[in-house]
Amino acid sequence: MARRLLLGCSAVGNTLVERTRADNAELVAITDDTGWASTLRDRNVATVEADPTDPSTYPDTAAVVLVAGDGPERNVAAAEAARRHYPDAMIVAHVGTNPTADQLAALEGVADRVVDPVEAIADRVREATGVDANEEPVRLLSTLRELSGPLLVVAHDNPDPDAIASALGLARVAESVGVPADPCYGGEIAHQENRAMVNLLDLRLHTFDEIDLDDYDGVALVDHSRAGINDSLPEGYPVDIVVDHHPPRGPVAGSFVDIRPEIGATSTLIEEYLSRIGIEPERELATALLYGIRIDTKDFTRSTSIPDFEAAASLSPLADESTLRRVESPSVSPETLRVIARAIESRDVRGSTVASCVGEITDRDTLAQAAERLLDLDGIAVTFVFGYMDGVIYGSARSRGADLDVGELLRDALDPVGSAGGHATMAGAQVPLGILEEVSESESLSDVVETFVAGRFFEALADAPSPPAGPMPEFSTD
């Protein structure tokens, strides 16, 4: 039986181990990475914990040598040592992460075959799609490869299923080409269905207060497009990658920018990258992406495109439908029911628009659920529900079949006194209570908030902007 020797280990090395085991070939591994050594031993691979560049640790014979560490310099040293020790062996060497031209040349000079996963994946994309290097997945891989360190993937604050799934999916793409990536979010995951998705699928994301920006060489934004606008990054923080389906409201910077307002969900774009690159998402990721598409398109009844249907069809066989059913039917909190009831009771209807102040709240995510529920009222096309907690007024707006852009509507109404954002059919706003809290004994804070916010909302409604039409405006990415 041919003896194979693994020098160093990494995700690529792990894959080579799998292939070797499938071939029933004898394998010995040498690595000084304690974690990988433990993993290999757990899989019954004979492992020596030692320097893979030191030939004194090598076995007497080896027919095939696999050099598979992450460090290009050490891979060159290991390949050269293996060639001297086994002059007749076949040497297959992984390039490692971000090799220099000299390191590539050194590997090619000593190894029989050099494995470059990034180039291999790019070639597969080109072959499968028949496109040039300007096609999105190819450009994304090129941008990722230029990073010299980990990537931080930032979802918008208080992320919804589309943002959560997109952050995880983009991290998966980065890791496929050897770039470590951490998905993260600011705020909280408050909506019952969102919490159920994260918990039932055991999805791992960092909160923003757990990370240090100095630890990352690159930053990606998903499901939004501007740093510091609805995320926890400093405003104007340098961004390398942007993937979004919301129309931009200003210049968008980044080496790779893919914004397609005609698409119903950012998860659709992530599924496209995975599919064209040749990555089959794990069951948990496939389920999250499918749910993200279904939520943002409201089960394919809102802002849905053909690619959304195609992505959902591709993900469905891989997704866990039983878990999806549990996610979509979580228990409803008493606070959610109270806010919905208050929104219905306090509604102010003007034509096809309804605004409702629900007073003090304990969970701001209930506002979005109430705004969705009010759209079910007969003759209503636009809803806006707002309340306050912890010194801040929060609002959530929805529209269906209306000839206006609620994102721009809330910006016109509340940006001058707070912040607002969103897109044509969904939007949110935050306004500091400030001096409004200083009410007289004869006034209630709820009445003061209602008068102030509803007044600005209906005043802006009189000159409400229409949804964006035609192609997306061109913004510089410099």
Give me the residue spans of the domains in the chain: 3-115, 136-328, 334-461
Comparing 464 with 281, the larger pLDDT belongs to 281
Is the pLDDT confidence value at 24 over 60? no
DSSP string, 385-412: EEEEETTEEEEEEEESS-SS-HHHHHHH
Beta-strand (E) ranges in 251-290? 256-259
Report the distance separating Cα 328 and Cα 348, nearest Å.
30
Domain 3-115 in CATH 1.10.1740.10: no
Measured in whole angstroms, the distance separating CA 196 from the mean position of its chain's CA atoms is: 18
Would you place residue 12 in the very low, low, confident or very high pLDDT band (cuts 50, 70, 90)?
A: low
Is the pLDDT confidence value at 105 over 70? yes
Provide the percentage of residues in the chain whose pLDDT is more than 90.
Answer: 44
pLDDT, average across residues 450-466: 84
Report the distance separating Cα 290 and Cα 68, nearest Å.
34
Q: How many residues does the chain have?
A: 478
b/e map 236-257, b = 16+ CB within 10 Å: ebebbbbbbbbbbbeebbbbbb
The topology (CATH level 3) of 334-461 is Diaminopimelate Epimerase; Chain A, domain 1 (3.10.310)
**Alpha helix ranges (H) inside 177-265:** 192-200
CATH homologous superfamily of 136-328 equals inorganic pyrophosphatase (n-terminal core) (3.90.1640.10)
The answer to whether 345 touches 385, Cβ cutoff 8 Å, is no
Q: Is 428 helix (H, G, I), strand (E, B) or coil?
A: strand
Is the pLDDT confidence value at 399 over 50? yes
Per-residue CA distances from 7 to 67, 82, 318, 370 (Å): 5, 9, 35, 58
Sheet holding 181-185, edge to edge: 206-207, 181-185, 151-155, 218-222, 241-244, 256-259
The answer to whether 33 touches 2, Cβ cutoff 8 Å, is no
b/e map 214-229, b = 16+ CB within 10 Å: eebebbbbbbbbbbeb
Report the distance separating Cα 51 and Cα 42, nearest Å.
20
Report the distance separating Cα 11 and Cα 115, nearest Å.
13
Whether pTM exceeds 0.75 = no
Range with the largest mean pLDDT of 38-47, 243-252, 254-263, 442-451? 254-263
Provide the percentage of residues in the chain whose pLDDT is more than 70.
Answer: 87
Report the distance separating Cα 261 and Cα 249, nearest Å.
12
The answer to whether 91 touches 110, Cβ cutoff 8 Å, is yes
**Would you state the structure tokens that stand for residue 198, as one six-digit string?**
């994260």
Report the distance separating Cα 260 and Cα 303, nearest Å.
12
**Would you state the structure tokens that stand for residue 472, as one six-digit string?**
């997306």
Per-residue CA distances from 270 to 25, 88, 137 (Å): 37, 45, 10
Comparing 186 with 12, the larger pLDDT belongs to 186
Give me the pLDDT at residue 469, please. Answer: 47
For the stretch 310-342, pLDDT in tens is 999 899 989 998 888 888 766 677 888 999 999
Would you place residue 386 in the very low, low, confident or very high pLDDT band (cuts 50, 70, 90)?
A: very high
Q: Do domains 136-328 and 334-461 have the same CATH topology?
A: no
Would you place residue 131 in the very low, low, confident or very high pLDDT band (cuts 50, 70, 90)?
A: very low
One-letter amino acid at 373 equals R
Sheet holding 353-360, edge to edge: 348-350, 353-360, 382-389, 392-399, 426-432, 419-422
Judged by average pLDDT, the poorest of 64-73, 140-149, 429-438, 466-475 is 466-475
For the stretch 230-275, pLDDT in tens is 788 998 899 999 999 988 877 888 999 999 999 999 999 999 999 9
One-letter amino acid at 418 equals G
Give me the pLDDT at residue 474, please. Answer: 41
